[in-house]
């Protein structure tokens, strides 16, 4: 380690802790300026580890006292560690008492104990507990906690911590106390406390197992009317985990608390989940369908952690995907199950894959690429990534595919049988699923399958088909490869489950019979590809079929299917697999976008979408039986970032111009159809956030946007007028916001009237203001107008850089989500980015490091962007006082 540089932490260096902590008794005197923390622990030496000093983690703490078995003792403070060398010998438990103070009011990192809206909150994952007291702050040290909170009663009437409330009462000077005991042992990252003026929606439930529980959702007093959906989502979560996995709530009381200052989405602290308000608060007037869906899945996600994460936790942070990949998989399955209908399930699957491909694939191809189970890190906070979460979920999904749904449930049971109450590894999980399914493809291929955990990068699967008319056979050749990633120049083949179907030229599904099989095998089939190259030969095929490969997106790979337009049109019209049907439409659009981008003429005027494509899109839009939600997905062109990933050299403005031109052409060519779609899908009745109604709103919203785009060119005022009217009259936020964004994205002058009106209507609704900021920062660029607008938004009285949601709504919406406006030939977007990264880093390194990743893919940029982007990153890297978080990101970007 060079001086002043943070060490690299390596997975292979894991060693068990030298001490165990059995019990922790914490007493807090809560005060924003100076909170006193008395920590009384019972420890003992770990008999499996040679005698060592006790090194406790600590950060930004003021140490007042250390006692061992009630006596003063010698200690050292060493780079944030409290080191005790003269501890009792032997393996008898001893008592350690540590008294410290900290300053929650000054905690702008939002890690450890902090103040938000005059309430106290904690965030301890991954390494925040050390900002509260000295501790062995690592997930394999699990202890029993009791917690006493003391605070001013008028200012902080509600005092919460993990577990059960065992005592409460008044103290002198208007103060009061509450004592909480957690019946379950837990690692320090699951500790939480909350204190403040809060009110709760409450619900008593009886579980399938016959136990009574109290569910509570705590919010600020004005927000109680926005808690119904979160509570319903929580009740659904409890019921689902019992029904699907036989996992019951193990607590008498389960609490959710919302805070508007939070770095991430939410946190699964045992029995006391703390949430970003964004993932709790919703009513029809303030939240969109997307918000409702996100709340359902995040509430589910945190609740499901109670088993996958809390009852069985991670041995070390390299195993993060053990809990996160599995829990994302579980929340995805939960949302699909609640969606019900197969078509609604497919819509959810498509949405999940879209996230994976637009966010995780670029990560896996860039400087921060890492395996699902990383081998090293400098700052663990940088590894709460789409790879660990979303790709990790795909790895779990593939396991389920390989052992079947029932087999997977058996595997989960074995996992809990073996590991309940322990801190374990990704290997332990995979082993349990395989052991519960002897003879399954997973069990047979386990060592190779586990390459999904150890090898980074997105594999490519190349498929080519050959039809032999004389032999009536069809041979599919599959070749896999995986590009190098940082530190991993060579990759071994993966186990790739591949859902497959063959369509006759008229779209009929053909029975699949391998050359080695005596009869066709009915139903959905998945083949398992394990070699660098292999072939599948099917018999009794009467005409050249169209292969539907990787159905349901059965593995997180890039499929190069070598499809012709004609084949894609057949799949789009007929595939019984909704995912591949959607995918065919995306490929048709993508192929066209790529072709136009490559054409040397810089303008887009001559770009003309072909009739076949337009007719196919019309066919979907007007289809008599397809769902509105599915139609909206098909008719939405691939995102600019997804298009960029397909190119070796990226000119973001060119991509933006081409995509916009395609969007306008679809708008014009289908103008009558959009009108029909709008009129027949706009609802006027009451608001329900179910999949069918939200699908209708999504399609109506897209139609309205398209109609406003048409109007932009023709000068027609009818549709913008209708959009403005809709904006004013809408009975729910989804329709209102869709109408507003139709005006903004078409650049119509009515947007200038609608935006201030929207602000005035919702000036007291922080989450709605976030949308207002985000919409403007994410607006299509017209002559470089977005950056000046963004700078103005930052000067708006409602802007606050210290609030992560607000910072994201302006800065991230511009730098991460608006490539056409951010990548400017004058480099001004990058200058803005570097200023913000540095400014944020001084306040909140986690948020700054996420922003720093906006330029991850700079090496792919065309000139002049590439050079300017590199300079901007170098400018950030030149700062000597960067956090480890940002330092790690920019160092890797420049490597
Ligand atoms: N475990 C949480 C995510 C999370 C991670 C770190 C945090 O610290 C700022 C907060 C939340 C989850 O997966 O939901
Ligand atoms: Zn999680």
In the predicted model, what is the mean pLDDT of residues 223-252? 98
Cβ of 302 below 6 Å from ligand 1: yes
Q: Whose CA is nearest to atom 2 of ligand 1?
A: 267
Establish whether residue 125 lines the binding site of ligand 1, counting it when its CB lies within 6 angstroms of any ligand atom. Answer: yes
Q: Is the C-beta atom of 384 inside 6 A of ligand 1?
A: yes
- The contacts of residue 318 (CB under 8 Å, 6+ apart) are 11, 14, 373, 374, 375, 377
The active-site residue out of 59, 125, 268, 302 is 302
Average the pLDDT over 350-367 and give the result: 98
380 lines ligand 1 (CB under 6 A): no
Question: How many Cβ atoms from other residues are within 10 Å of residue 611's Cβ?
Answer: 10
User: 823's torsion region: left (phi>0), alpha (psi -120 to 50) or beta?
Assistant: beta
> d(Cα 894, Cα 449) in Å, to the nearest integer?
32
645 lines ligand 1 (CB under 6 A): no
**Ligand located closest to 308 CA:** 2
CA of 104 from ligand 1 middle (Å) equals 19
Q: Kindly state if the Cβ of 264 falls inside 6 Å of ligand 1.
A: yes
Using a 6 Å cutoff on CB, does residue 123 contact ligand 1?
yes
Output the residue whose Cα is nearest ligand 1's atom 13.
Answer: 324
Instruction: State the pLDDT at residue 604.
Output: 66
Residue 5 has pLDDT above 80, yes or no: no
Is residue 111 scored above 90 in pLDDT? yes
640 is an active site residue:
no
Tell me which residue has its CA closest to atom 3 in ligand 1.
267
Q: Is the pLDDT of residue 3 over 50?
A: no
User: Contact, 779 vs 745, CB < 8 A?
Assistant: yes
Q: What is the pLDDT of residues 124-176, one digit of tens each?
A: 999 999 999 999 999 999 999 999 999 999 999 999 999 999 999 999 999 99
Place of tokens 């839009």: 621
Mutate to test the pocket of ligand 1, among 267, 268, 307, 381 (most ligand atoms within 8 A of CB): 267
> Which ligand lies nearest the alpha carbon of 304?
2
Predicted TM-score (pTM) above 0.95? yes
Other Cβ atoms less than 10 A from the Cβ of 145: the count is 23
User: Does residue 631 have a pLDDT over 90?
Assistant: yes
Q: Which ligand is nearest to the CA of 299?
A: 1
Check pocket membership of 331 for ligand 1, CB cut-off 6 A: no
Please state the rounded mean pLDDT for residues 240-263.
Answer: 98
Q: Which ligand 1 atom is nearest residue 126's CA?
A: 6
Q: 421 C-alpha to center of ligand 2: Å?
A: 18
Q: Ligand 1 centroid vs 744 CA: distance in angstroms?
A: 33
Tokens 């260096």 sit on residue? 13
pLDDT-derived band at 1 (thresholds 50, 70, 90) equals very low
Give the per-residue pLDDT at 603: 67
Note the ligand closest to the C-alpha atom of 847. 1
Report the distance separating Cα 814 and Cα 445, nearest Å.
45
The preferred substitution site among 121, 125, 332 for testing ligand 1, maximizing ligand atoms within 8 Å of CB, is 125
Closest C-alpha to 669, from 616, 746, 606: 616
Q: Is 885 in the pocket of ligand 1 (CB under 6 A)?
A: no
Q: Is 313 in the pocket of ligand 1 (CB under 6 A)?
A: no
Query: Which of helix, strand or coil describes residue 730?
Result: coil
* d(CA 384, ligand 2 centre) in Å: 9
Q: What angle do CA 229, 232, 236 make, to 5 degrees?
A: 135
Interface TM-score (ipTM) > 0.95: yes
Q: What is the pLDDT of residues 294-325, one digit of tens each?
A: 999 999 999 999 999 999 999 999 999 999 99
Q: What gap in Å lies between CA 320 and CA 323, rounded to an integer? A: 6
H or E stretch covering 161:
strand 158-161
Q: Which of 192, 264, 331, 390 has most ligand 1 atoms within 8 Å of CB, for mutation?
A: 264
Give the nearest ligand 1 atom to 263 CA: 9
Distance in Å, CA 239 to ligand 1 centroid: 24
Q: What CA–CA distance (Å, rounded) separates 729 from 739? A: 10
The pLDDT of 705-722, averaged and rounded, is 94
Which atom of ligand 1 approaches the CA of 381 most closely? Answer: 6
Secondary-structure breakdown of the chain: helix, strand, coil percentages, each rounded to the nearest 5:
45, 20, 35
Confidence of residue 333 (pLDDT cuts 50, 70, 90): very high
Name the residue at shortest CA distance from atom 9 of ligand 1: 263
pLDDT at 605 over 80: no
Neighbours of 420 (CB within 10 A): 10
Q: Give 13-60 pLDDT, tens digit per residue.
A: 999 999 999 999 999 999 999 999 999 999 999 999 998 999 999 999
């Amino acid at each position: 380690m060079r001086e002043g540089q943070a060490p690299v932490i390596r997975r292979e260096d894991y060693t068990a802790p030298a001490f165990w902590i059995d019990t922790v008794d914490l007493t807090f005197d809560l005060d924003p300026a100076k909170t006193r923390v008395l920590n009384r622990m019972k420890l003992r030496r770990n008999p499996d580890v040679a005698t060592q000093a006790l090194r406790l983690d600590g950060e930004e703490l003021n140490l007042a006292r250390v006692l061992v078995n009630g006596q003063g003792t010698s200690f050292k403070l060493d780079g944030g560690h409290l080191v005790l060398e003269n501890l009792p010998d032997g393996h008898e438990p001893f008592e350690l008492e540590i008294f410290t103070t900290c300053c929650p009011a000054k905690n702008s990192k939002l890690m450890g104990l902090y103040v938000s809206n005059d309430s106290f909150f904690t965030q301890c994952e991954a390494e925040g507990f050390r900002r509260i007291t000295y501790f062995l702050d690592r997930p394999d040290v699990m202890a029993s906690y009791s917690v006493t909170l003391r605070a001013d009663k008028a200012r902080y009437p509600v005092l919460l911590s993990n577990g059960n409330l065992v005592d409460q009462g008044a103290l002198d000077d208007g103060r009061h106390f509450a004592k909480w005991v957690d019946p379950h042992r837990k690692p320090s990252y699951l500790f939480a406390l909350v204190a403040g003026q809060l009110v709760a929606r409450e619900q008593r439930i009886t579980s399938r197992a016959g136990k009574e529980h109290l569910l509570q959702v705590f919010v600020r007093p004005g927000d109680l009317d926005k808690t119904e959906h979160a509570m319903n989502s929580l009740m659904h979560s409890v019921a689902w985990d019992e029904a699907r996995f036989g996992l019951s709530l193990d607590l008498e009381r389960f609490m959710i608390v919302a805070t508007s200052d939070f770095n991430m989405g939410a946190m699964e602290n045992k029995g006391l989940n703390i949430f970003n308000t964004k993932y709790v608060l919703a009513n029809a007037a303030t939240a969109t369908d997307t918000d409702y869906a996100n709340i359902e899945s995040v509430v589910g996600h945190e609740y499901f952690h109670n088993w996958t994460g809390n009852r069985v936790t991670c041995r070390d942070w390299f195993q993060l995907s053990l809990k996160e990949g599995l829990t994302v998989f579980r929340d995805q399955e939960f949302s699909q199950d609640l969606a019900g209908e197969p078509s609604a399930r497919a819509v959810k699957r498509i949405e999940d894959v879209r996230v994976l491909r637009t966010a995780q694939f670029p990560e896996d191809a860039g400087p921060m690429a890492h395996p699902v189970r990383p081998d090293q890190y400098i700052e663990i906070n940088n590894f709460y990534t789409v790879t660990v979460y979303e790709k990790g979920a795909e790895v779990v999904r593939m396991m389920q595919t390989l052992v079947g749904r029932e087999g997977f449930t058996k595997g989960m049971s074995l996992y809990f049988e073996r590991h309940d109450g322990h801190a374990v590894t990704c290997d332990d999980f995979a082993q349990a699923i395989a052991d519960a399914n002897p003879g399954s493809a997973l069990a047979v291929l386990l060592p190779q399958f586990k390459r999904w955990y150890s090898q980074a990068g997105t594999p490519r699967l190349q498929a080519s088909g050959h039809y032999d008319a004389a032999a009536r056979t069809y041979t599919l050749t599959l070749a896999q490869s995986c590009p190098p990633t940082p530190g991993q120049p060579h990759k071994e083949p993966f186990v790739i489950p591949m859902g497959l179907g063959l369509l006759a030229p008229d779209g009929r599904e053909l029975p699949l019979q391998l050359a080695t099989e005596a009869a066709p095998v009915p139903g959905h089939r998945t083949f398992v590809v394990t070699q660098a190259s292999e072939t599948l030969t099917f018999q009794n095929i009467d005409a050249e079929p169209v292969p539907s490969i990787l159905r349901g997106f059965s593995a997180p790979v890039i499929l190069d299917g070598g499809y012709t337009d004609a084949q894609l049109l057949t799949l789009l019209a007929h595939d019984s697999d909704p995912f591949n049907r959607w995918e065919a439409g995306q490929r048709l659009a993508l192929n066209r976008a790529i072709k136009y981008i490559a054409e040397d003429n810089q303008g887009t005027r001559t770009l003309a979408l072909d009739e076949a494509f337009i007719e196919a899109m019309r066919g979907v839009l007007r289809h008599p039986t397809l769902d509105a939600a599915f139609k909206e997905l098909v008719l939405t062109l691939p995102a600019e970032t997804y298009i960029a990933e397909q190119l070796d050299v990226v000119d973001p403005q060119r991509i933006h111009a081409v995509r916009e031109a395609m969007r306008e052409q679809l708008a014009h060519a289908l103008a009558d159809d959009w009108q029909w779609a709008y009129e027949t899908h706009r609802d006027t009745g009451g608001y329900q956030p179910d999949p069918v109604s939200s699908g209708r709103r999504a399609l109506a919203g897209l139609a309205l946007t398209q109609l406003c785009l048409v109007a932009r060119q023709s000068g027609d005022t009818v549709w913008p007028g209708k959009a403005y009217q809709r904006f004013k009259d809408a009975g729910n936020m989804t329709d209102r916001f869709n109408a507003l964004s139709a005006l903004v994205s078409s650049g119509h002058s009515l947007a200038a009237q609608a935006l201030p009106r929207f602000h005035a209507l919702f000036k007291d609704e922080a989450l709605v203001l976030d949308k207002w900021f985000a919409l403007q920062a994410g607006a299509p660029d017209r002559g470089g107008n977005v950056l000046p607008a963004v700078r103005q938004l930052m000067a708006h009285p409602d802007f606050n850089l210290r609030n992560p949601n607000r910072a994201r709504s302006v800065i991230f919406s511009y730098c991460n989500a608006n490539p056409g406006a951010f990548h400017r030939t004058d480099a001004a977007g990058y200058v803005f980015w570097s200023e913000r990264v540095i400014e944020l880093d001084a306040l909140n390194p986690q948020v700054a490091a996420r922003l720093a990743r906006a330029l991850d893919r700079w090496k792919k940029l065309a000139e002049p962007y590439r050079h300017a982007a590199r300079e901007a990153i170098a400018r950030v890297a030149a700062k000597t006082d960067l956090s480890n978080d940002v330092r790690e990101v920019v160092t890797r970007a420049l490597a």
